Amino acid sequence: MADVTLTNVRKQFGTFVALENLDIEIKSGEFVALLGPSGCGKSTTLRMLAGLEFPTSGDISIDGRVVNDVAPGKRDIAMVFQSYALYPHMSVAENIAYPLKKRGVSAADRKVAVQKAAELLQLEPLLDRKPKQLSGGQQQRVALGRALVREPKVFLLDEPLSNLDAKLRSYMRAELIELHRRLGKTMIYVTHDQLEAMTMANRIAVMHGGKLQQFDTPDAVYNRPANRFVASFIGTPSMNQLEGQLDGALFHVAGHSIPLDRTRFADDLGTGDYALGVRPEFVAIGDGELPAKIRLVENTGHEQIVTLELTDGTRLLARTDAARRLDVGQNVQIGFHPDAIHLFAPGEEGPRLNKNDAASVIPMRSR
């Protein structure tokens, strides 16, 4: 068990800045997800933790020891690769035993450890096979087995489930949560799938363009997103963000005004351009003053996602009961739950301007 810290880490490839001002403190035993769109620097971060890349500046420490110059094999970490990276010419048993072999564990002890890992991951009948003879899910489990066989301090996982089909993925998600609970080891998990991050992690580090956007609990990144990027990245469908003007307690959008509870937002906001954010579940159809037209209704069976268009052409989404009857083309009045409104500064990463204690957590049913 160990805590992992990145202090002011920067990583450049040539002139390209892949990571900037990265400060992350991970507590011992925590399950942390690095979440962000493809190319945001998640893998680079993980590879630096593993020692496969070196920070251009800044420090990385594991268990209180700065490991900037420590070789991967000496960091007491294990890593699961997106491609699994199983050694094709070795059997499953040899694959799992390899890290032990490299550490000089005796053949007899290796056998015992491999047996234990195989039991844990239900790999016993497959031990003599070659990786090529395994299904994707089985290969995945072998990769996990190779990682946990020598009981490292920290587990690093780079999109380990992304090559599995949807059903197996949700199964393995549950398995991983269970595994983390049982082992109690620090786990750092890279994913671009917010559902994985939300369901598995104790805390989520949301990244974008090489910068950390927010590092907080799933509840916080969902309900109190630090900025517009986090707000749009977390949640499916994502949060509506309407660009408009703030004037006192009124937010002007599409030729209409939405009254705001100014006590919920920072006190020093001047008149000007802002973005109003509201999640689809807090958009009420038929209850409000904003006129809109229904453009599309998608019924998933237990809910409906409704695409609405304001008079100026701006589109937004609402989430309603599946039972409700709504017709495409219908004109409706919509409103936003006042306690669920976020205000953001303009720009792609415009910060959220709510007072942070004003958490926008409202039970669905009270709409």
Partner 1 sequence: MQRSMLQGVIVNLVTWTLVLLIAFPLLWMIITSVKPQTELFRIPPTWFPETITFEHYWRLLTETPFLTYFRNSVVLATTTTIFVVALGTLGAYSLVRFKYRGRETLAMLVLFTYLLPSVVLIIPLYLMMVAIGLSNTLVSLILAHTTFALPYALWLLRSFMEGVPEDLESAALVDGASRMGAFRDIILPQLLPGIISTALFTFILSWNEYLYALVLVNSDSVAPLTTGVMSMLISAFNIEWSLLMAASVMMSLPLIVVFAFLQSYLTSGFGAGGVKG
Residue 146 vs 192, nearer CB to partner 1: 146
220: how many CB neighbours lie within 10 A of its CB? 17
Q: What is the DSSP letter of 75?
A: S
103: contact with partner 1 by CB under 8 A: yes
Min dist. Cβ of residue 340 to partner 1 (A): 44
How far is it, in rounded angstroms, from Cα 320 to Cα 282? 9
Give the distance from CA 209 to its chain's centroid: 15
64: how many CB neighbours lie within 10 A of its CB? 8
213: contact with ligand ADP by CB under 6 A: no
Min dist. Cβ of residue 82 to Mg ion (A): 7
Instruction: Please count the helices (runs of H) and the strands (runs of E) in the chain.
Output: 8, 19
Total residues binding ligand ADP (CB under 6 A): 11
11: how many CB neighbours lie within 10 A of its CB? 22
154: contact with partner 1 by CB under 8 A: no
Q: Which of 37, 39, 73, 248 binds partner 1 (CB under 8 A)?
A: 73
Residue 13 vs 54, nearer CB to ligand ADP: 13
Q: Candidates 41-49, 128-136, 180-188, 216-224 — which segment interacts with Mg ion by CB under 5 A?
A: 41-49
| Partner whose footprint covers residue 308, from Mg ion, ligand ADP, partner 1, none (CB < 5 to 8 Å by kind) | none
Q: Which of 2, 9, 32, 43 binds ligand ADP (CB under 6 A)?
A: 43
Q: Which of 2, 4, 9, 18 binds ligand ADP (CB under 6 A)?
A: 18
CA dihedral of residues 110, 111, 112, 117 (deg, nearest 10): 90
Strands 57-62 and 4-13: antiparallel
Q: Which of 19, 35, 43, 155 binds Mg ion (CB under 5 A)?
A: 43
Q: Which of 85, 168, 195, 254 binds partner 1 (CB under 8 A)?
A: 85
89: contact with partner 1 by CB under 8 A: yes
Q: Report cis status (omega within 30 of 0) of the bond before 237.
A: yes
Q: Candidates 12-20, 163-171, 257-265, 324-332 — which segment interacts with ligand ADP by CB under 6 A?
A: 12-20
Min dist. Cβ of residue 205 to partner 1 (A): 21
Residue 8 vs 133, nearer CB to partner 1: 133
240: contact with ligand ADP by CB under 6 A: no
Q: Which of 22, 30, 33, 42 binds ligand ADP (CB under 6 A)?
A: 42
Q: Candidates 39-47, 135-143, 178-186, 234-242 — which segment interacts with ligand ADP by CB under 6 A?
A: 39-47
Token pair of 1, please? 């068990």
Residue 86 vs 292, nearer CB to partner 1: 86
> Are residues 142 and 94 in contact, defined by beta-carbon separation less than 8 angstroms?
no
Identity of the amino acid at 301: G
71: contact with partner 1 by CB under 8 A: yes
Residue 43 vs 138, nearer CB to ligand ADP: 43
Q: Which of 39, 125, 136, 286 binds ligand ADP (CB under 6 A)?
A: 39
Min dist. Cβ of residue 43 to ligand ADP (A): 3
How far is it, in rounded angstroms, from Cα 88 to Cα 85? 8
DSSP string, 279-332: -GGGEEEEEEEEEEEEEEEEE-SSEEEEEEEETTS-EEEEEEETTS---TT-EE
Ranges assigned E (strand) in the chain: 4-13, 16-26, 31-35, 57-62, 65-66, 77-80, 154-158, 186-191, 203-208, 211-216, 240-247, 250-253, 256-259, 272-278, 283-299, 303-310, 315-321, 331-336, 342-344
Q: Which chain residues interact with partner 1 by CB under 8 A?
A: 47, 50-52, 71-73, 77-79, 81-83, 85, 87-89, 98-99, 102-103, 146
Q: Which chain residues interact with ligand ADP by CB under 6 A?
A: 13, 16, 18, 36, 38-44
